[in-house]
Amino acid sequence: MALERTFSIIKPDATRRNLTGKINAKFEDAGLRIVAQKRIHLTKAQAGEFYKVHAERPFYDELCEFMASEPIVAQVLEGEGAIAKNREVMGATNPADAAAGTIRAEFAESVGENSVHGSDAPETAAEEIAYFFSGLELVG
């Protein structure tokens, strides 16, 4: 499998509880390298742009409020099959369905406040990385 990059967010529920280090340890233990990382505070409009694919869903407004409520940590993870591997380490969207040992099983508070985001495909990974990071910030 080829070396790949994916985009990750440590969400406000997790940064608020000082879980960045524990979540990063899960990524690193799974063989994902953190090649870029920064703490930023999104506006609600920026959160809305990022999650625009969900604009018609009933939870969209609540999701945007949540993502803008406190700082997030935006990251780029690199590894063999990084997109699928990251989704595996994250666990299912709803922590009640997430496999034991996954980030969401251990740390998520609810289906909405579920600690992490991970890109779902190569095209979205490329778009999301480019939205948050410049070429200069991406060190291989």
- Which segments are annotated as binding site for ATP? 11, 59, 87, 93, 104, 114
What are the backbone angles phi and psi of residue 45, rounded to the nearest 5°?
-65, -40
Q: How far apart are CA 34 and CA 120, in angstroms?
A: 18
- Report how far Cα 7 is from the mean position of its chain's Cα atoms: 6
Q: How far apart are CA 33 and CA 50, in angstroms?
A: 23
Residue 30 or residue 136: which is nearer to ligand RTP going by CB? 30
**Residues binding ligand RTP: what is the number (CB under 6 A)?**
10
Q: Tell me: does residue 112 bind ligand RTP (CB under 6 A).
A: yes
Position among 15, 98, 117, 128 found at the interface with ligand RTP (CB under 6 A)? 117
Q: Of the listed pieces 19-27, 42-50, 106-114, 126-134, which binds ligand RTP according to CB under 6 A?
A: 106-114
Q: Shortest distance, CB of residue 126 to ligand RTP, whole angstroms?
A: 15
Q: How far apart are CA 130 and CA 138, in angstroms?
A: 10
Q: How many residues does the chain have?
A: 140
Instruction: Point out which residues bind ligand RTP (CB under 6 A).
Output: 54, 59, 63, 93, 111-112, 114, 117-118, 120
